[in-house]
């Protein structure tokens, strides 16, 4: 009993010691105080804190509900030390701050209470003067700024300067040149469209905070305000394509900065292309579709960082006779077919360059897209659709979409009926190959539509399936595959298959392909193990080994009745073999070649 009690006490002590060992504690902050307008690196130390670069952070917080001060960067020194780079400015409230640290991954917030004291600066930074005090719209202004107790030249304080008026005018700086802690030169490019009046000068950086000098600049209207003076042409019809020329007065149109648009509450119209010719001329190519609403539009030129211009009601879009679909045929077809449709419309402007329509047949969530579109003339289009056995039967909506005309929609434009699959393979070219060959095999089908990515061909013998290295659908009824016939593939007849995935039935040609040991009459073969020539043979039948195949061949000759009349072996180290046929009668004979358990029989003629 005493032994059990000692063990229990030992376990409790270990558990207590372990809990203490893994607790995370912040221990010190160095330095522990700073003054407003001071740049300072603060090192926070702890025990078992497990600081890790990229997931650990620290910050200062004034009480539970006070403001926080965050560093601009943090660096983990080791698992128990992290350094924060702080910039304190007059907007940071003086007082005693808690120091917070956090480790990502759920270890929580660690706090060292009232550990850092931020003191008020003796002399607050301020803007003392700026020259000149007046400027004119359209000019480039170089403004000299003088500060008191400022820190313009402190490293990485990130100065920003701008002008702002009470009536909404805003002028951002073009460039800033810092001379020293109290002086800087700032360039402003003031566009003509900026409103005249007094502007406050704003300056901000990390140490000085936000500084403002009220009514620092009086902006005077030069009287040369830019404006849009002419729009040619100033009107167009729906369905029309034209180039609009916009001329300006006192403008500074710039390539890459200026953009032309026609504005209206019902929807803007953007050019397909625009070009700035010079400071006062910009061109835009517009395609006015029937989706664009007729009415007046404001001509708007967007000038980035210079000022936008608008000519109210400067352009009018006039209504045209609406286009519509007059016919779509055929109106009924069946699954499993490739169908060419003829679309007839009225008041359209189709062409083969920039106004090619796209046709879609829609039924519930199923969308069928046209595979080919041929524009016959401005109102006539030929489109090809492929209907698989996986497509839904029933009535389909026709949607015709083009750049000029927008969308034309016809409900119940087409009916797809169900049909029974009748597809078949009608030819295989070539239908033979020799072991060791790599050849392309072309299949032709009937009552089938081959589709890239859906139709997959293969050759099968028993449990062996040979897939092509590559395959490609040439047209609706032709598919080609490149096959690599390895020496280990068995010779004999193979079934030819084309799998149709979910959309098409599988089709097969039984024993439609044969893999052989050799090409019997191909004297020029570069891939056969054996070539046998000539055929017909007059006196001597030659047999040659084309490759260094180490196998032994047994070669027999039979007459047409099946009687063995000659035989011999081609040994492993033998490249040629001849049969003397001069004593045999003219006629048909059978040549049998055996290689292990493989056999090939071919017919030849003695003449």
How many CB atoms neighbour CB 353 within 10 A? 6
Q: State the average pLDDT for the chain.
A: 90
Beta-carbon contacts of residue 307 (< 8 Å; ≥ 6 apart) = 191, 192, 193, 194, 226
State residue 561's pLDDT score. Answer: 85
- Cβ–Cβ under 8 Å, residues 370 and 383: yes
For the stretch 263-300, pLDDT in tens is: 998 899 999 999 999 999 999 999 898 889 999 999 99
| Whether 149 and 71 share a structural domain | no
Pick the closest to residue 113 from 45, 65, 69, 62 (CA basis). 62
Whether residue 524 is contained in a domain is answered as no
| Whether 234 and 215 share a structural domain | no
pTM: 0.52
- Give me the mean pLDDT over the 344-361 stretch: 94
| Whether 137 and 216 share a structural domain | yes
| Whether 368 and 389 share a structural domain | yes
| Whether 472 and 444 share a structural domain | yes
For the stretch 250-260, pLDDT in tens is: 888 988 889 99
The proportion of the chain whose per-residue pLDDT surpasses 90, expressed as a percent, equals: 69
The answer to which of 13-22, 464-473, 491-500, 539-548 has the lowest mean pLDDT is 13-22
394-402 and 358-363 beta bridge pairing? antiparallel
Residue 49 pLDDT exceeds 80: yes
Whether residue 387 is contained in a domain is answered as yes
Where a domain ends, among 162, 193, 220? 220
Pick the closest to residue 540 from 588, 577, 585 (CA basis). 577
Residue 480 pLDDT exceeds 90: yes
What is the number of structural domains in the chain? 6
CATH number of residue 67's parent domain: 2.60.40.10
| Whether 499 and 460 share a structural domain | yes
Whether residue 3 is contained in a domain is answered as no
State residue 178's pLDDT score. Answer: 97
Whether residue 111 is contained in a domain is answered as yes
Nearest-10 Cα torsion for 54, 58, 59, 65: 110
- Give me the mean pLDDT over the 393-411 stretch: 94
Whether residue 155 is contained in a domain is answered as yes
| Whether 290 and 242 share a structural domain | yes
Longest dimension (CA), the chain: 129
For the stretch 431-476, pLDDT in tens is: 999 888 899 999 999 999 999 989 999 999 999 999 999 999 999 9
Whether residue 13 is contained in a domain is answered as no
Where a domain ends, among 198, 220, 242? 220
| Whether 349 and 292 share a structural domain | no
- Cβ–Cβ under 8 Å, residues 211 and 202: yes
- Give me the mean pLDDT over the 486-514 stretch: 93
- Give me the mean pLDDT over the 44-63 stretch: 93
State residue 429's pLDDT score. Answer: 94
| Whether 104 and 132 share a structural domain | no
CA distances from 30 to 41, 44, 283, 436 (A): 9, 7, 64, 79
- As given in the structure block, the two tokens for residue 279 are 């400071």
| Whether 536 and 565 share a structural domain | yes
- Cβ–Cβ under 8 Å, residues 93 and 110: no
Q: If DSSP codes are grouped into helix, strand and coil, which group holds residue 103?
A: strand
For the stretch 121-162, pLDDT in tens is: 999 999 999 999 999 998 899 999 999 999 999 989 999 999
State residue 234's pLDDT score. Answer: 96
CATH number of residue 397's parent domain: 2.60.40.1930
- As given in the structure block, the two tokens for residue 87 are 């910039």
State residue 19's pLDDT score. Answer: 41
| Whether 429 and 342 share a structural domain | no
Whether residue 548 is contained in a domain is answered as yes
- Give me the mean pLDDT over the 522-548 stretch: 73
Domain that holds residue 345: 324-417
Whether residue 525 is contained in a domain is answered as no
Residue 8 pLDDT exceeds 50: no
- Give me the mean pLDDT over the 203-226 stretch: 94
Where a domain ends, among 383, 417, 451? 417
For the stretch 70-87, pLDDT in tens is: 999 999 999 999 999 999
| Whether 330 and 413 share a structural domain | yes
């Amino acid at each position: 009993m005493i032994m059990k009690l000692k063990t229990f006490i030992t376990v409790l002590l270990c558990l207590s010691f372990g809990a203490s060992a893994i607790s995370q504690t912040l221990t010190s902050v160095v330095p522990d105080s700073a003054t407003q307008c001071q740049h300072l690196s603060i090192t926070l130390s702890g025990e078992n804190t497990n600081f890790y670069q990229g997931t650990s952070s620290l910050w200062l917080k004034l009480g539970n509900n006070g403001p926080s001060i965050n560093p601009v960067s943090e660096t983990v020194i080791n698992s128990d030390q992290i350094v924060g780079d702080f910039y304190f400015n007059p907007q940071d409230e003086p007082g005693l701050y808690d120091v917070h640290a956090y480790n990502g991954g759920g270890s929580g917030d660690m706090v060292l209470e009232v550990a850092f004291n931020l003191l008020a600066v003796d002399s607050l930074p301020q803007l003392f003067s700026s020259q000149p005090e007046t400027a004119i719209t359209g000019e480039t202004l170089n403004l000299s700024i003088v500060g008191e107790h400022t820190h313009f030249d402190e490293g990485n304080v990130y100065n920003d300067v701008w002008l702002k008026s009470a009536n909404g005018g805003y002028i951002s700086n073009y460039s800033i040149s810092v001379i020293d802690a109290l002086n800087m030169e700032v360039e402003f490019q003031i566009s003509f469209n900026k409103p005249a009046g007094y502007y406050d000068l704003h300056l901000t950086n990390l140490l000085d905070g936000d500084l403002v000098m009220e009514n620092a600049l009086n902006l005077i209207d030069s009287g040369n305000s830019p404006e849009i003076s002419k729009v040619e042409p100033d009107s167009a019809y729906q369905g029309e394509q034209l180039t609009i020329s916009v001329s300006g007065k006192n403008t500074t149109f710039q390539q890459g900065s200026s953009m032309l648009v026609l504005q209206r509450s019902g929807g803007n119209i953007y050019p397909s292309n625009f070009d700035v010719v010079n400071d006062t001329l910009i061109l835009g190519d517009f395609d006015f579709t029937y989706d664009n609403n007729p009415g007046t539009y404001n001509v708007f030129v967007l000038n980035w960082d210079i000022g936008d211009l608008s000519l109210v009601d400067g352009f009018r879009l006039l209504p045209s006779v609406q286009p519509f679909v007059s016919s779509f045929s055929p109106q009924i077809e069946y699954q499993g077919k490739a169908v060419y449709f003829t679309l007839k419309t009225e008041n359209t402007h189709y062409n083969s360059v920039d106004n090619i329509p796209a046709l879609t047949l829609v039924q519930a969530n199923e969308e069928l897209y046209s595979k080919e579109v041929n524009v016959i003339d401005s109102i006539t289009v030929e489109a090809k659709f492929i209907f698989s056995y996986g497509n839904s039967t029933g009535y389909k909506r026709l949607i015709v979409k083009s750049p000029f005309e927008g969308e034309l929609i016809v409900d119940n434009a087409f009916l797809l009926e169900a049909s029974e699959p009748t597809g078949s393979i009608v030819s295989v070219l070539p239908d033979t190959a020799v072991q060791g060959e790599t050849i392309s095999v072309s299949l032709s089908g009937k009552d089938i539509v081959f589709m890239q990515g859906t139709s997959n061909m293969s050759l099968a013998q028993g449990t062996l399936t040979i897939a092509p290295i590559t395959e490609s659908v040439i047209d609706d009824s032709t598919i080609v595959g490149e096959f690599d016939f390895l020496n280990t593939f068995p010779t004999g007849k193979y079934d030819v298959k084309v799998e149709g995935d979910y959309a098409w039935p599988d089709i097969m040609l039984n024993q439609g392909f044969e893999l052989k040991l050799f090409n019997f009459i191909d004297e020029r073969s570069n891939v056969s193990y054996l070539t046998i020539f000539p055929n017909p043979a007059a006196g001597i039948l030659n047999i040659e080994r084309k490759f260094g195949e180490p196998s032994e061949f047994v070669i027999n000759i039979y007459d047409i009745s099946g009687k063995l009349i000659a035989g011999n072996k081609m040994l492993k180290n033998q490249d040629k073999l001849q049969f003397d046929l001069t004593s045999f009668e003219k006629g048909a004979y059978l040549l049998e070649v055996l290689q292990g358990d493989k056999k090939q029989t071919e017919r030849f003629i003695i003449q």
